[in-house]
Amino acid sequence: MRVLQGLKPQSVFDFFEQICAIPHTSRHEKALSDFCVEFARERSLEHMQDEMGNVIIIKEATPGYEEVEPLIIQGHLDMVGDKTAECDLDLEKDGLRLRVDGDFISAEGTTLGGDDGIAIAYALAILDAQDIPHPRIEAVMTVDEEIGLLGATEIDLSMCRGRRLLNLDSEEEGVLTTGCAGGRRAHCRIPVKRVKQQGISVQLRLEGLLGGHSGTEIDKGRVNACVEMGRFLALLREKIEYGLAEFSGGVKDNVIPKSADARIVIGQKEIDTLRAVVAEFERQMRAEYGTADPELRLTTDERGQCELPVLDGDSLGLVLDALNLMPNGVQSMSADLPGLVETSMNMGVAELGEDALMLDESIRSSVPSAKEQMARKVQRLVGRLGGSVEFSGDYPAWPYAKDSKLREICVELFEKLYHRKPEVLVIHAGLECGILSDKLPGLDCISMGPNLLDIHTPQERMSISSVERTWEYLKAILAYKER
């Protein structure tokens, strides 16, 4: 029954296995939140649970550590629930089917939720232990991180005395994350008008793309399917008249779209020109993106005579302007931290409805004023196109601190344990540290974690040996006292 029995550290894997048995995808973390509260009750630990399900559990310092500054240990309770087409589990109701293969733990057919279940498992193991020396521990467990850092945004941290925070939501051992970008979502709506048009209906599909995370993979030079389909349609318009009936691409604002579809209506005599423009476009795309996105292809499927409501001339112009002029991809690189993307945009979803084009954009920047400027650009452009923008999901950047005592300690202890230097990184993605730093002025923060691969996909797996090494490292940080 117990799949992880015998793995070390046993206490961490015991808690991890219990967590995996409780469904806890975003917006469905109540049972896991209650489990943590029950855990605290059984051990008479001071705790709180708010209405959303965020939990804080306090454990006082062990003897000799009363004078050491408290340490906040933090992770999120929710996981991304994704599964393969064949998987019959209901992730809102069923526990995961864990599997051990060599050094890796995974879940059969689903995401594992090592992101961020391992943080909760570490926290519970520390709170449960009788033999680990530590200062006052304040374990902060948040909900709905994966859908916009919602729990962290709402949580009341007034019971936390610590101004040092260890976030356990990073996925690469040996990397200490020390800063992240802030973000905002823009939902754009551009009204359009339609007219009936007769002709040959042609389905266009741009596919075979890699896509990826709109923060960490925005600098990989990959194709954004929505943007490039917009480019193709603009090129086509230079050659022939056509009607645009349908356009859609992408699934989430923070994912680079892997495919886009369009349906156009054209005259019979334009078919040859269409084919020529498609071939020329594919050739250009391969020359531009052959290295970053080699499998790209644009397919056409001619579906015969029809009459469809297509965009009128003005509306088609507006839609092509929106798709072609909206800033997309890396906008600027950091001058302070070489190699770091400072500001970026991702057109994550494009959907042409009956009477409007909807675009979901993800704006990211490690510089607050640059994020504002991107928001203004979107507003201006969409305003010019007669549309409107709604912003949501704003969260602050976590700026790199020039001086950080916690970072010094973490670097020193890492070198001592592993005889190599950890990588100290600032990332172009969102972490809860920015929001929490806003709530606890002067907060000294570090993010770390064991090796997790392919998170947010059914291929997610977690390295057992890395969990063990990270546990030893964590215990060393807890035991650290200034001499």
- 115 binds Zn ion per the rule CB under 5 A: yes
Residue whose entry in the numeric block shows the structure tokens 């005579």? 305
The stretch near Zn ion (CB under 5 A) out of 52-60, 164-172, 298-306, 354-362 is 164-172
Dihedral sign (CA 299, 303, 308, 313):
positive
Closest CB 34 distance from Zn ion, rounded Å:
21
Give the footprint of Zn ion on residues 364-393 (CB under 5 A): none
The stretch near Zn ion (CB under 5 A) out of 114-122, 246-254, 358-366, 468-476 is 114-122
Find the catalytic residue in 17, 145, 173, 342: 145
The number of CA neighbours under 13 Å toward the Cβ of 299 is 10
**Rounded distance, CA 227 to CA 223, Å?**
8
Among 17, 138, 144, 169, binds Zn ion (CB under 5 A): 169
- 460 binds Zn ion per the rule CB under 5 A: no
Nearer to Zn ion, 169 or 293 (CB): 169
Nearer to Zn ion, 315 or 463 (CB): 463
- AA letter at 373: Q
The stretch near Zn ion (CB under 5 A) out of 161-169, 284-292, 375-383, 466-474 is 161-169
Nearer to Zn ion, 116 or 444 (CB): 116
Closest by Cα among 351, 362, 289, 292 to 328: 362
Find the catalytic residue in 17, 78, 270, 360: 78
Closest by Cα among 284, 121, 274, 279 to 200: 274
Residue 483 neighbours by CB under 8 Å, 6+ apart:
none
- 144 binds Zn ion per the rule CB under 5 A: no
Closest by Cα among 242, 251, 176 to 422: 176
The stretch near Zn ion (CB under 5 A) out of 113-121, 333-341, 370-378, 428-436 is 113-121
Residue 207 neighbours by CB under 8 Å, 6+ apart:
225, 258, 259, 296, 297, 299
Nearer to Zn ion, 115 or 460 (CB): 115
Closest by Cα among 370, 324, 320, 379 to 344: 370
**Rounded distance, CA 300 to CA 229, Å?**
12
Closest by Cα among 454, 478, 472 to 172: 454
Residue 391 neighbours by CB under 8 Å, 6+ apart:
184, 185, 186, 187, 375
Q: Is 50 a catalytic residue?
A: no
Nearer to Zn ion, 79 or 266 (CB): 79
Q: Is 145 a catalytic residue?
A: yes
- Residues in binding contact with Zn ion, number by CB under 5 A: 3
Closest CB 75 distance from Zn ion, rounded Å:
8
Nearer to Zn ion, 169 or 360 (CB): 169
Give the footprint of Zn ion on residues 116-135 (CB under 5 A): 116
Closest CB 19 distance from Zn ion, rounded Å:
14
Closest CB 177 distance from Zn ion, rounded Å:
12
Q: Rule CB under 5 A: which residues touch Zn ion?
A: 115-116, 169
Give the active site residues. Answer: 78, 145
